[in-house]
Structure 1
Amino acid sequence: MSNHPASGVNFPGLPATELPWDRVTLSVVIPAYNETATVESLLRRVREVPLKLEVIVVDDGSTDGTRDLLEELEGELIDQLIFHEKNAGKGAALRTGFGRATGDVVVVQDADLEYDPYELPILLEPILSGRADAVYGSRFLGGPHRVLFFWHSVGNRLLTLLSNMFTDLNLTDMETGYKMVRTELLQSLPLSAYRFGIEPELTSRLAQAGARIYELPISYHGRSYAEGKKIGWKDGVSAFWSILRYNISPPRVPKWTPPSTDPWNEPDRIAAGSEGAAEPEIGSGSSDSGSPESRENS
């Protein structure tokens, strides 16, 4: 078996071993709200991923001690730590994190351990190989998953179907928490959702921009409500209205044109790599967490 980071996926004509894994930085945006039970374990698992990482955590007004715990982990596991004084919702936390990302590619990583960070290289490969601008990890394409909540599954599929009708996509899991997007593209999208409406909004904006979207199977380890799951039927109703809102009267979304040369294939990066220039330690990011700008209230 190949020993490259994404050995589970390969594309004809572009062996993954030849991809520039050492020249790309992945910004991992982690929204956190009352996640003391899981956030440290999640961060340690993220840091074990064999990629150059920028870890951005946005605490969305936690009241259970998550904020204090994150402050202790800053510098060791977190590159940028941002606080919302009041809970504003997942969408607001993600928009804050997206705006602070400086890596080449951004991925959303929930803090609850439902999604496995070890699968991040697999999601990154279609972007690195030049075939995708965004990659969704689908819970419905065959990956191992914990068996939970029949009606949640039905609701997710219905929302995905409705979204597909408007966007003319054939996604299987629009509501997935694993969404990975080129940073330049992501930061060009007009996003405004505050809560879980960010999922259909981001999908509609990517479709309106003409982005190339891939789906790959992922594992999923869902939580029960007793274990801390937060999303409920009211969020499903809200997502329904969000799909209508973000597709019926969309703002002007600039059409996306992939760059002629990806940033990780720019001559200066290639030269730096060939000359043995110092690179951020794989799996630890390039932290500037000691600067006052990297910790702020929002």
Structure 2
Amino acid sequence: MSRLPTADIVIPVLNEAHVLRKSVETVMAFCQANLPYLWRVVIVDNGSTDGTQNVAKQLVAEYDDVQFIHLHQRGRGRALRHAWLQSKADVVCYTDVDLSTQLVHLRELLDSIVYGGYHVSTGSRLMRESRTRRSFKRELTSRVYNVLIKAVLFTKFSDAQCGFKAVSRKAIEEIVPQIEDQSWFFDTELLVLAEKQGYPIKDIPVEWIEDDDSRVKIMQTAWEDIKGILRLRRLLWSSRWSERRAQAPVADADRR
């Protein structure tokens, strides 16, 4: 009998004590009912100063399928990098703790990696089939940002910053160590480096509902993202990138 595939569902958190238990138990209930995988939920706290650690430790004590990682330094990218690189699962994904992306899409996200032949998949709020509820400001910012990425970096994926992504073990080992950003631009850098190294990216249209309690500072994040885009452009035009591509261990045709 073939073994079940394994999956780690990572939830990065920063001062989320008020929603952490509800979100984790919601994810667990969905996984138990819908995923034909051996799965676990991995909470990664990166620098919380509220009661997040206590809630996470309580969940670990109550549930065998919950793991907790505590990092002293902040940064969503740092949290994902740490959890993904130490994971031994066949496929690793993440979702934001507010569960803005509806969990009904989680199985498709994972299946595209395990059974669909992809190594990277991402939720998209910008496809025709997507359904979103968010403010005009956030909608406009998101669309402008993704147009900018396409114009500057010549990418094909539709939504760089949706907090709902899955990556294969192979892609983690090859791509994640190359990512420099430790914060919000981590997502974009992951997709750009994957695509430029021959990994087709599966865009999955999702239903996404804005969290009214979101603490993301749009303008500050946008400025950091622009700097990240320009850094990647310099990399892609450099001799260092040509050398990296020449040393890539797998031909593009073998990545699906």
TM range, smaller chain: 0.7 to 0.9
Which structure has the greater CA radius of gyration? 1
Q: Quote the sequence identity (%).
A: 24
Look up the match of 1:135. 121
Residue 155 (1) aligns with residue 155 (2): no
Q: Among residues 77, 93, 110, which one is paired with 2:96 in the alignment?
A: 110
TM-superposed CA distance for 1:58, in Å, is 1.0
The residue aligned with 1:44 is: 25
Conserved in 1, the CA contact under 8 Å of 2:39 and 2:65?
no
Query: How far apart in 2 are the matches of 1:90 and 1:191?
Result: 13
CA offsets 1:244-297 (integer angstroms, 9 cap, x no match): 1123215536364589799xxxxxxxxxxxxxxxxxxxxxxxxxxxxxxxxxxx
Q: Which amino acid aligns with 1:179?
A: K
Runs of 4+ in 1 over 4 A off after TM superposition: 255-262
2:180 maps to what in 1? 192
Higher helix share goes to which structure?
A: 2
Alignment of 1:216-231 (within 5 A): 216-224=204-212, 227-231=213-217
The residue aligned with 2:111 is: 125
Q: Give 1:296's aligned residue.
A: none
Using the alignment, how far apart are the partners of 1:38 and 1:77 within structure 2? 20
2:11 match: secondary structure: strand
User: Is 1:235 aligned with 2:221?
Assistant: yes
Distance in 1 between the 2:192 and 2:249 partners? 13
Question: How far off is 1:78 after superposition?
Answer: 4.9
Residue 182 in 1 paired to residue 168 in 2?
A: yes
TM-score normalised by L of structure 1: 0.72
Q: Does 1:58 align with 2:39?
A: no
TM-score, normalised to structure 2, is 0.83
2:191 matched to 1:203? yes
CA 1:261–1:139: 2 relative to 1, 3 Å: closer
CA contact (8 A) 1:210 1:256 kept: no
Unaligned runs of 5+ in 2: none
Counterpart contact for 1:43–1:77, Cα < 8 Å: no
Instruction: Evaluate the alpha carbon distance shift between residue 247 and residue 207 of structure 1 in structure 2; reply closer, same or farther with a 3 A threshold.
Output: farther
Q: Report SS of the residue matched to 1:229.
A: coil
Q: CA RMSD in A?
A: 2.4
- 8 A contact 2:119–2:170 mirrored in 1: no
Cα distance change on mapping 1:185 and 1:38 into 2, 3 Å: same
1:179–1:255 Cα change, 3 Å? farther
Pairs within 5 Å for 1:238-277:
238-250=224-236, 252=244, 254=248, 256-257=250-251
Q: 1:192 to 1:237 in 2, by over 3 A?
A: same
TM-aligned CA deviation for residue 115 of structure 1: 1.9
Structure scoring higher RCO (CA < 8 A, sep ≥ 6) equals 1
Q: Matched residues in 2 for 1:70 and 1:259: separation?
A: 42
SS in 2 for 1:220: strand
Answer yes or no: is the 8 Å Cα contact 1:139–1:173 preserved in 2: yes
Does structure 2 conserve the Cα–Cα contact (< 8 Å) formed by 1:56 and 1:101? no
Q: Could you say which residue in structure 1 is the equivalent of 2:67?
A: 80
Matched, 1:164 2:150: yes
